[in-house]
Chains A and B, each alone.
Chain A
Amino acid sequence: MLGRGLKRKLSDYEENMAGLSSAFDSSRNLPYPLKRQLVLNMCLTKLQTYKMLVEPNLHRSVLIANTVRQIQEEMRQESNQQPISVCPGITPTSHSYTGMESSGISLQLPSGISQQESNCCDLRSVEDPLENSLLIVSDDDMSSAISSILKDLDFVEDISPPTCLVPTGDDQPKFPENTGLKLEDDRQDLKGAECVFGSFEISNSTSYLKDLAIDDIFEDIDTSMYDSDFCCPPLMPPRPPSLATEEPLKTFPSCNSSPASNIQICRTDLSELDHIMEILVGS
């Protein structure tokens, strides 16, 4: 029996899950709330695992999210009907699991579960690992788990660089202005300058552009030659001073002294990003 706070090894966890799911399948005596809890835990674990992938599978994520929503709705209706949960051995109030967004799920044993007497939940007929692995998840945690994985799947589309093409002699596709008729809607997905990097994930693990202050990287570079006559219109449209301070494109100091124009922020950010990517990729 593991004490509180001790993380279970992954291989043990996997074995337990396999044992639990076959217990689910084979046992007719498992009470419904326990089965539901087990399924919920499996769903949330999968969503958490997907969140750590660079590119989660959208189809699976949606199916699992829907299953969580369905269970969530059921539990909501039950809690509306009865103030006490169906199975007294598992009470949501005292053992809420928090911190769902933090990486990894530690299967801490909520104190009291295995010790509480319960008549309707025949926990003693099931192996101990069943109790140990059950997490009590709050409604908010479920919703935030679903939202966070679905949000991560929202790619900003116009910024994909062209893929490596086999020369065919035909017209080579240019930068993706060509995704049909839906560019305008996509641009509306961006909600401002900070959303250029906010609404899509470069990757979950290497968010270096967000974490580092761009100015610090280029501190030691002498940019005086760029101050006077170096003009790169696509890169440096003038900005109204009311913009958000999290300006990732401060790399090149403004060389344009013309007054602030009312160019659409999103469009200029996108073309600047295109330009930066060209330089970085060296295409």
Chain B
Amino acid sequence: ILAGFGNLMQDVLWCFSQVKGTIDIGVTEADIISTVEFNHTGELLATGDKGGRVVIFQREQESKNQPHRRGEYNVYSTFQSHEPEFDYLKSLEIEEKINKIRWLPQQNAAYFLLSTNDKTVKLWKVSERDKRPEGYNLKDEDGRLRDPSMITMLRVPVLRPMDLMVEATPRRVFANAHTYHINSISVNSDYETYMSADDLRINLWNFEITNQSFNIVDIKPANMEELTEVITAAEFHPHHCNTFVYSSSKGTIRLCDMRTSALCDRHAKFFEEPEDPSNRSFFSEIISSISDVKFSHSGRYIMTRDYLTVKVWDLNMENRPIETYQVHDYLRSKLCSLYENDCIFDKFECVWNGSDSVIMTGSYNNFFRMFDRNTKRDVTLEASRENSKPRAILKPRKVCVGGKRRKDEISVDSLDFSKKILHTAWHPSENIIAVAATNNLYIFQDKVN
């Protein structure tokens, strides 16, 4: 079933499938999930956390005995990607938190992914080993070297099966190219290069070369006191290897073509929506800062997330988005409080489904929202342990704004702002979603009739 294609929102019922992570009341900070990403086939699901670890889940083969249960995701590999570091000159600790993971398309038996913290990008190879060689001539079975003079005959080592072992090895380390904090990485469609973006600069790398990168965007002013805008996210076009976009803290998106010049400081397209004067407040600029930008799978649209909305832009129209969806407009009257407790700076991500017909993003109180672009219907769902019975259908949630609160509604003032869903992922071709709620990873699937 090519999910999403022709599926209307009212036809899709989302069910709980799995949850990963502990139920402890006190959450260890290191366990907080900081990024979630499916690979290109959806067979693997990777998470990164604040402790610098990467956990990869693999979907098991569907069993014929239980056709109503789609394959479940189980742990495939766990490894420590980044360690905390110390920059001696600036007396700064460099966090090991994984900011982003991006998969490379699979080209052989091994899987490759990029993971990055604030300063360093690493290319990891994840491969399986299910055979091992036995019968070395120069080593005995324990690995100790034999005395060559004692060897009287030669034999050919044979491969014998062993228990499956999944190994993750760092194949490349791309370091020392970012002064500011890396917020995005994006693999190019040529599969030979990728980019990494920090607050002020974007660098282009070749996977084979770790000691050099090309700087393709630099918005650092000569005098830092003149700085008014930073880069917040960047992504390559899914098909055109010369095209990429980056978003800014002022709510603008720039599309750049690398063929025009080596340094892409001048954009080919500039996307900005004129401000709505009726919504103007002291916090207008802060809430316009774009926290995520994603190309649609088709490459025709880009989606941006700012504090209160998700917007879809047509690449051919720069002066305004073609669609705007309100994620949690009831927060508009709470902006001062949200500024005071810093929630206004939370960076929510957004994702497309496989057919670009539905978009999803997170909110507070462990709520997440989906918008069907065709029917214009939307739904609010919750990732919580209470809804975690196998195949339990998720009930839509509603936040009530004004006076009367209905039975199942929750009032704005009762929302838990410490429970925020910043990271979500959608399977590339099926209706399977992964939602990160602090230290727990929820996997939901649509109900198979």
Contacts of A280 in B (CB 8 A): 88
B175 and A163 within 8 A (CB): yes
Distance, CA A277 to CA B86, complexed state (A): 14
Give the distance in Å from the alpha carbon of A160 to the alpha carbon of B180 in the complex. 12
A21: Cβ under 8 A from any B Cβ: yes
Q: Which residues of B contact A36 (CB under 8 A)?
A: 282
A206 to B90, CA, bound (A): 10
The residue in chain B whose Cβ has the minimal distance to the Cβ of A179 is B177
> In chain A, what residue has the closest Cβ to B204?
A180
In the complex, A173 Cα to B176 Cα: how many Å? 8
Interface string of A51-85 (1 = CB under 8 A from B): 00011001110111111011100000000000000
Which residue of B89, B171, B176 is within 8 Å of A202 (Cβ)? Answer: B89
Q: Are A146 and B120 in contact (CB under 8 A)?
A: no
Q: How far is the CA of A214 from the CA of B127 in the complex (A)?
A: 54
Given the complex, which residues of B lie within 8 Å of A164, measured CB to CB?
83, 85
State which of A86-94, A100-108, A149-157, A217-225 sits at the interface with chain B: A149-157
A138: shortest Cβ distance to chain B, in Å?
18
Distance between Cα atoms of A16 and B200 in the complex (Å):
36
Q: Which of B92, B180, B201, B341 contacts A54 (CB 8 A)?
A: B92
- Find out whether the CB atom of B176 lies under 8 angstroms from the CB atom of A178: yes
Decide if B333 is an interface residue (CB 8 Å cutoff): yes
Q: How far in angstroms is the closest Cβ of chain A from B225?
A: 5
Bound CA span A153–B175, Å = 20
Q: Is the CB–CB distance between A161 and B177 below 8 Å?
A: no
Confirm or deny: B213 has a beta carbon within 8 angstroms of a beta carbon on chain A. Answer: yes
Q: Is the CB of B199 within 8 A of A67?
A: no
Distance in angstroms from A53 CB to nearest chain B CB is 10
A66 and B228 contacting across the interface, CB-CB below 8 Å: yes
* Contact A163 B87, beta carbon cutoff 8 Å: yes
Interface string of B71-96 (1 = CB under 8 A from A): 00000000000010101111110100
Min CB–CB distance B249 → chain A (angstroms): 6
Closest to B289 in A: A63
Q: At the interface, yes or no: B119 with Cβ under 8 Å from chain A?
A: yes
Least CB separation from B83: chain A residue = A164
| Pair A62/B282 contact, Cβ less than 8 Å | no
* Cβ-defined contact, A159 with B345, below 8 A: no
Shortest Cβ distance from residue A24 to the other chain B in the assembled complex, whole angstroms: 4
Interface residues of A in 4-55 (CB under 8 A from B): 17-18, 20-22, 24-25, 35-36, 38-39, 42, 54-55
Query: With A25-B335, A59-B232, A168-B171 in contact, do A155 and B90 touch (Cβ < 8 Å)?
Result: yes
Across-interface contacts of B262 in A (CB, < 8 A) = 181
Quick check: B283 and A160 within 8 Å, CB to CB?
Answer: no
**Is the C-beta of A139 less than 8 angstroms from some C-beta in chain B?**
no
Query: Size range of the interface on A?
Result: 35 or more
Whether A203 is near chain B, meaning CB under 8 Å from some CB there, is: yes
Classify the secondary structure of B's interface with A. Answer: loop
Indicate if the CB atoms of A151 and B225 lie closer than 8 Å. yes
- Say yes or no: is B142 at the interface (Cβ < 8 Å to chain A): no
Minimum distance in angstroms from A63 CB to a CB of chain B = 5
Cα–Cα, bound, A189→B173 (Å): 29
Q: Are A151 and B224 in contact (CB under 8 A)?
A: yes
Do residues A162 and B175 form an inter-chain contact, with CB atoms below 8 A? Answer: yes
Bound complex: CA of A60 vs CA of B289, how far in Å?
A: 10
A150 contacts across to B, CB distance below 8 A: 224-225, 227
**Contacts A59-B199, A71-B282; A180 near B171 (Cβ below 8 A):** no
Q: Determine whether A212 belongs to the interface, using a CB cutoff of 8 Å to chain B.
A: no
Query: A168 near B170 (CB under 8 angstroms)?
Result: yes
Q: A170-B210, A277-B88 are in contact. Are A63 and B286 (CB under 8 A)?
A: yes
Q: Is the CB of B340 within 8 A of A202?
A: no
- CB-nearest residue of chain A to B80: A166
Contacting pair B90 A25 (CB below 8 A)? no
Q: In the complex, what's the smallest C-beta–C-beta distance from A145 to chain B, in angstroms? A: 11
CA of A187 to CA of B345 in the docked complex: distance in angstroms?
Answer: 33
Q: Is B28 an interface residue (CB 8 A)?
A: no
List, in ascending order, chain B residues with CB within 8 A of A39's CB: 282-283, 336, 339
Among A58, A67, A176, the most chain B Cβ lie within 10 Å of the Cβ of A58
Taking a contact as CB atoms under 8 Å apart, the answer to whether A179 and B285 are in contact is: no
* A173 closest partner in B (C-beta): B211
Cβ of B218 within 8 Å of any chain A Cβ, yes or no, is yes
- Asked whether A281 is an interface residue with its Cβ less than 8 Å from the other chain, the reply is yes
Complexed CA–CA distance, A164 and B227 (Å): 31
Q: Are A62 and B91 in contact (CB under 8 A)?
A: no
Q: Is the CB of B173 within 8 A of A161?
A: no
Residues of A with C-beta under 8 A to B336? 21-22, 24-25, 38-39, 42
Contact status A63-B285, CB under 8 Å? yes
Q: Which of B89, B282, B339 contacts A160 (CB 8 A)?
A: B89
B419 on interface, CB distance cutoff 8 Å: no
Q: In the bound complex, do residue A62 and residue B249 qualify as a contact, i.e. CB atoms below 8 Å apart?
A: yes
CB<8 Å pairs between A and B, sample of 21: A21-B340, A42-B340, A55-B92, A58-B199, A59-B232, A62-B228, A63-B289, A66-B228, A157-B179, A160-B179, A163-B119, A163-B176, A164-B83, A164-B85, A173-B175, A173-B176, A176-B177, A180-B203, A180-B215, A181-B215, A201-B90
Q: Assuming A25-B336, A170-B173, what are 20 further A-B pairs, CB within 8 angstroms?
A: A38-B336, A39-B339, A54-B90, A54-B91, A62-B227, A67-B286, A160-B89, A160-B90, A161-B88, A161-B89, A163-B85, A164-B83, A166-B122, A173-B210, A174-B211, A180-B177, A180-B214, A181-B262, A201-B90, A202-B91
